[in-house]
Amino acid sequence: MSDALARKIRREDLLVELGCEELPPKALDTIREAFYAGVEKGLVKQNLLFDPAGSRSFSTPRRLSVFFKAVAASQPDRDQERRGPELGAAFDSAGKATPAAMGFARSVGKKVSELETVKTEQGEWLYVQLQVPGKTLSELIYPILEHAIKQLPVPKPMRWANHDFSFVRPVHWLIVLHGAEVLEGKLLGQAAGNTTRGHRVHSPGPHPIPAAADYVHVLEEACVIADHDRRRDLIRKKLLEVDENVHIDPVLLDEVNNLVEWPVAIGCTFDQEFLAVPHAALIASMQDHQKFFPVMESGNSGKISNRFIAVSNLESEHLPSVRAGYERVIRPRLADARFFLQQDMKQTLESFSDRLDQLVFQQKIGTIGDKSTRISRLSKKIAEILSIDSVHAERAAFLSKCDLMSQMVGEFPRLQGVIGHHYALASGEDPAVAEAIEEHYLPRFAGDTIPPSLVGQIVGVADRLDTLAGIFAAGLRPSGNRDPFGLRRASLGLVRILLEARLDLSLTRLLALAATELSPQLSIDQALLVDIRNFIVERARNHYREQGFSAELINAAISSDWDTLPDLDSRLRALDAFMGQEAAASLAAANKRIGNILRKSEEDISKVIDTDSFVLDEEHRLFKDITRLEKRLEPLLEDAEYAASLELLAGLRKPVDDFFDSVMVMDEDPTLRANRLALLFRLKSLFDRIADLSVLS
């Protein structure tokens, strides 16, 4: 289609709004972005032009909207070529059109005399070029919307009235506007119109939308901020205006953003007496149950104050009454937390351990009590490998899950470890033990820190090893998107602890120790241990990709003979630095060539090199350089000085290039050929001690 023809197609903004009952706040962001992506994909697939830069999605608790800038009113017309019957079959001997020719002409809306011919290698044929008009946006938009809605990641779809379809929430109105024109149709039981609804209290409506471009302005006049990003920024601003020491949890901010359409921040207080409760429990109570934002004390004390901020969805004329209401509802929640604390503190943390046998971790591998025993023994062995006192690691691992049976963690599950730390100190445990109980859960999520203390790192490693070994042995390894035991997260956490703490622990040995501790419940054969190791290595691969390392570099390092993750890390970083050198590309190409030669060779390659069989200077020189470098490399490799080792190997560039320029490796003489293959094998083995350069392009 020509540019001139494209400009003739009318283009207007497209607005689609689904007006719903209150949408689930935790899933709303994901649903909104999926809805936008689905409609965008449909427009692109149908070749309906639009301006991506000016397009975006909107959402509030009561609406899901997409706005596409300058959408074409129709598809562009397209040229279509049709080939009919061969000329011999199209006309008889007298030159008259046969039924085949006339039928083809009718099918394309032409007379036989209007048809052209086209010559190919197979013969000459009747031919016509048609211009097929594009379908209109009104014809295509509803199938696009229906498909996009079916693909939404709705957590719990529901039905309403007597409809045979389902959606995340009942839909009460629908807008499908192209410019100022309503594109008529029905979706989710609603006929399309041009009216929306405003704030339930301040300006319920209905409110007409004159044109798609007026959407945001009309809603703001109706006390609804449709732009979720702007609404989130406004909430943050209002919170800080009330108290600059407010603690703004990003997850809570996102959730509150999806609960309000017209945010108003209100400062509140609670009784000072509740500050005796662990501050993590107070924060959890305010955030999890009431969606309130706690306020910290001034300065950098890290302690919570008795102030908090609530975000209301309306501007009340009786603000003191609203504040009193928020303060009234928080009191019983904080009183519950204090009660749980008082009940739990009547006993030591260790006294909860007996009850862990009532909590099944996984049927085939036993209870949480069994797991605590295993990771306690495993932590002791890891500490001994690292040559440190194992008493604290063993004790912390044994107590690490005890707080799961406390009333406080029962009410606030995300406080596991935090409450264990508090109760351990109250029970007289060593501070190092108490800290490790909390730390061993780190990192809890992407970007979180690893355990700061060595004891916490050891227990964190032991816990994740036991989970990985046990779940794999039970035959429940992740498949597709299913990972109910969080093995990918556990594996990535293990990788990060070993890497970032530089724990020089053999991955193979760690898995063998975990298998030994698990053996009374389930046996793990060597093949399964290899599978688990590969699963962990794949997480390491993903970790390095996210850091910006190329897949080739990662593969080259992983293919080497490493067994500890810090060692793998050193190889990868040294290789990354080396590839910036002038000699790197040449040596990588040589290694690739050597790898191909050795792989394609159908004969056994000897490790013995016969110097008397060398006939060319280039063979002698390369052998001498390899022999010389082997001696110099040995101490460097023993100390894992991979960068210095690669610097040394860079000196082989010229002798290797000269060798390949002058020497025919696959010589017809079997003695020469075998000796040259042995020389190349020895050369490649030298590089392979650091990384497999043959996988690099």
Burial (0-12, 13-18, 19+ Cβ within 10 Å), 5: exposed
Do 291 and 328 reside in the same domain of the chain? yes
Whether 334 maps to a domain, the answer reads yes
The answer as to whether 556 is a domain residue is no
User: pLDDT value at position 349?
Assistant: 96
Backbone angles phi, psi at 174, to 5 degrees: -140, 130
Comparing C-alpha atoms, which of 372, 369, 345, 353 is closest to residue 427?
A: 345
If asked whether residues 266 and 117 sit together in one domain, one would say no
What is d(CA 480, CA 571) in angstroms, rounded to the nearest whole number? 31
Number of structural domains (the chain) is: 5
Q: Is residue 576 part of a domain?
A: no
For residues 236 and 184, membership in a common domain is answered with no
Query: Rounded CA gap, 562 and 642, in Å?
Result: 12
Same domain for 144 and 103: no
Phi, psi of 269 (to 5 degrees): -135, 165
- My answer on whether 61 and 93 are in the same domain is no
- 472 pLDDT higher than 50: yes
- Which CATH number belongs to the domain containing residue 64 in this structure? 3.30.70.260
**Residue pLDDT, tens place only, 225-279:** 999 999 999 999 999 999 999 999 999 999 999 999 999 999 999 999 999 998 9
Q: What is the pLDDT of residues 527-552, one digit of tens each?
A: 999 999 999 999 999 999 999 999 99
Query: Is pLDDT at 301 greater than 80 in this prediction?
Result: no
Give the DSSP letter string of 63-92.
EEEEEEEEEESBPPPEEEEEEEEEHHHHB-
Give the CATH number of the domain where residue 502 resides.
Answer: 1.10.3210
Answer whether residue 99 is part of any domain: yes
- Of residues 62, 68, 52, 51, the one with CA closest to residue 18: 62
Q: Are residues 527 and 444 part of one domain?
A: yes
pLDDT in tens, 132-180: 788 899 999 999 999 999 999 988 889 988 888 899 999 999 999 999 9
In a domain, 169, yes or no: yes
- Mean per-residue pLDDT over the chain, rounded: 91
Does 526 share its domain with 378?
A: yes
Confidence of residue 131 (pLDDT cuts 50, 70, 90): confident
How large a percentage of the chain has pLDDT more than 90?
67
Band (3; pLDDT cuts 50, 70, 90): very low
Residue 498: HSE in the Cβ half-sphere, 13 Å Cα cutoff: 29
User: Are residue 188 and residue 249 in the same domain, yes or no?
Assistant: no
Residues 290 and 432 in one domain: no
Q: pLDDT for 502-516, tens place per residue?
A: 999 999 999 999 999
User: Could you say which of 166, 192, 221 is where a domain stops?
Assistant: 221
Give the three-class secondary structure for 624. Answer: helix
Q: Which of 441-450, 582-591, 598-607 has the highest mean predicted lDDT (pLDDT)?
A: 441-450
d(CA 123, CA 119): 6
* Integer Cα distance of 501 and 324 in angstroms: 49
Residues 463 and 383 in one domain: yes
Give the per-residue pLDDT at 377.
97
Instruction: Establish if 354 belongs to a structural domain.
Output: no
Task: Give 39-97 pLDDT, tens digit per residue.
Answer: 999 999 999 999 999 999 999 999 999 999 999 999 888 777 788 888 878 888 788 88
pLDDT of 198 > 80? The answer is: yes
Q: Is residue 655 part of a domain?
A: yes
Lowest-confidence segment of 6-15, 43-52, 171-180, 373-382 by average pLDDT? 6-15
pLDDT of residue 581: 83
Q: What is the pTM of this model?
A: 0.78
Q: Tell me: do 61 and 91 sit in the same domain.
A: no
Please indicate, yes or no, if residue 534 is contained in any of the structural domains: yes
How many beta carbons lie within 10 A of that of residue 329, not counting itself? 14
- The whole domain housing 310 covers 228-344
First to last CA, the chain: 40
Supply 119's token pair.
């010559």
> Of 317, 344, 371, which closes a domain?
344
Residues 418 and 470 in one domain: yes
